[in-house]
Amino acid sequence: MALVALQALGADVAVARDAVPGEVRSVEIQARPIPHFQASKPDQRRFGRLEYRGGLALTSSDPDFGGWSGLAIEPDGRQMLAVSDTGAWLSAEIVYRDGVPIGLSKALMGPVRALKGRRLNKKRDLDAESMTSYSGDLTHGVVLIGFERNHRIGLFPIENRALKPPIKYLKLPSEARRMRANSGFEALAVLRGGPFKGGILAFSERYPDPTGRHTGWIWVKNTPHRISLADHGGFNITDAASLPDGTLFLLERRFRWTEGVKMRLRRIVADAVRPGAMLDGEILLEADLSRQIDNMEGLAVHRGADGGAVLTVVSDNNFNTFLQRNLLLQFVLPDDRRAAKVR
């Protein structure tokens, strides 16, 4: 368990890192394929309700590369944008072969800025933990980015794939100010369909209500309304993503000294997501360190060529390159593929 203990302590590496991300530049990224989600069972493709599509272990010589905590992907699954908890952004194109990710190309990196282009120099201001596309696309559009420590959610325009300073920040519920410094807006999604299409959804990593449920909010017409989620097994929420029909997916993580790190993916039907709701949802996958996981923090979803949902998750390596990895993993939801053909 010494390795696991050091992995947990690696979370402090990003907190203590003093470097501020450099200016916008091209970067080279090396990608090592991960053909099997469980190395001891190379023929197994089905895990829980999901099929493993493929994955990559990502490295770069750029000192700002790592800590990826928020993720957005274009509807065709190719263009991606990620943000790190040390205030950097990464724009890249996912390269596929026969539907399997094999690398990243055309990569750009740069710093997340404050209003009017000011530099962010303090860890409490740099800690970006979640991101979702808001309008347009990832070449010319607007994304939402959620931060913890200095809790806020901002609207950031994109020009020529480069992230620009924020336009403004959302009005937050007063109770959000009571979130713990290191347990802020870890999950962020725009509802793409359902009764509250266009609504913004955010969850704290861990902010239990009096009944022990996770706390979140849904913004309807710029006004935040409380929403909650059942806590099964003490997992923390690390991200959220929505399909065009409003189906919501949640990424969760748990660490225990006795078992190491686990990840979990949940699905919630669109009609259940509304102000005041107490959500639960179906567990699609739960995985531990016997599978190819790390500190999984970012989630995006798009539809594949056959119409089925493709879930992409990325990990925050805490800049601990000796013990942890930056992973990009993809899974397919087979039953959604069949449902998409019926629609």
CB-based burial label for 309 (10 Å; 0-12, 13-18, 19+): buried
* Structural tokens at position 116: 């009017």
Vertex 214 angle, CA 189 and 280, to 5°: 75
pLDDT band at 340 (very low <50, low <70, confident <90, very high): very low
Which residues contact residue 153 at a Cβ distance below 8 angstroms, ignoring those fewer than 6 apart?
144, 145, 146, 147, 169, 170, 172, 185, 188, 200, 202
Q: How far apart are CA 37 and CA 58, in angstroms?
A: 16
- Quick check: 16 pLDDT over 70? no
Q: How far apart are CA 299 and CA 21, in angstroms?
A: 23
Residue 22 is predicted with a pLDDT of 80
- Indicate the average pLDDT of the chain: 92
CB-based burial label for 131 (10 Å; 0-12, 13-18, 19+): buried
Assess contact for 309 and 231: CB atoms under 8 A. Answer: no
- Quick check: 293 pLDDT over 60? yes
- The domain spans of the chain are 2-342
**233-254 pLDDT tens trace:** 999 999 999 999 999 999 999 9
pLDDT band at 21 (very low <50, low <70, confident <90, very high): confident
Which three-class secondary structure state does DSSP give residue 288? coil
b/e code 89-124 from CB counts within 10 Å (16+ = b): bbbbbbeeeeeebebbeebbbbbbbbeeeeebeebe
Q: What is the DSSP string of 220-239?
A: ETTEEEEEEE---TTPEEEE
Average pLDDT over residues 87-100: 97
Which three-class secondary structure state does DSSP give residue 109? strand
Residue 24 is predicted with a pLDDT of 96
Residue predicted with more confidence, 300 or 20? 300
Architecture of domain 2-342: 6 Propeller (2.120)
Residue predicted with more confidence, 306 or 99? 99
Residue predicted with more confidence, 123 or 136? 136
Which three-class secondary structure state does DSSP give residue 26? strand
Residue 258 is predicted with a pLDDT of 87
**50-69 pLDDT tens trace:** 999 999 999 999 999 999 99
Residue 15 is predicted with a pLDDT of 41
Residue 18 is predicted with a pLDDT of 55
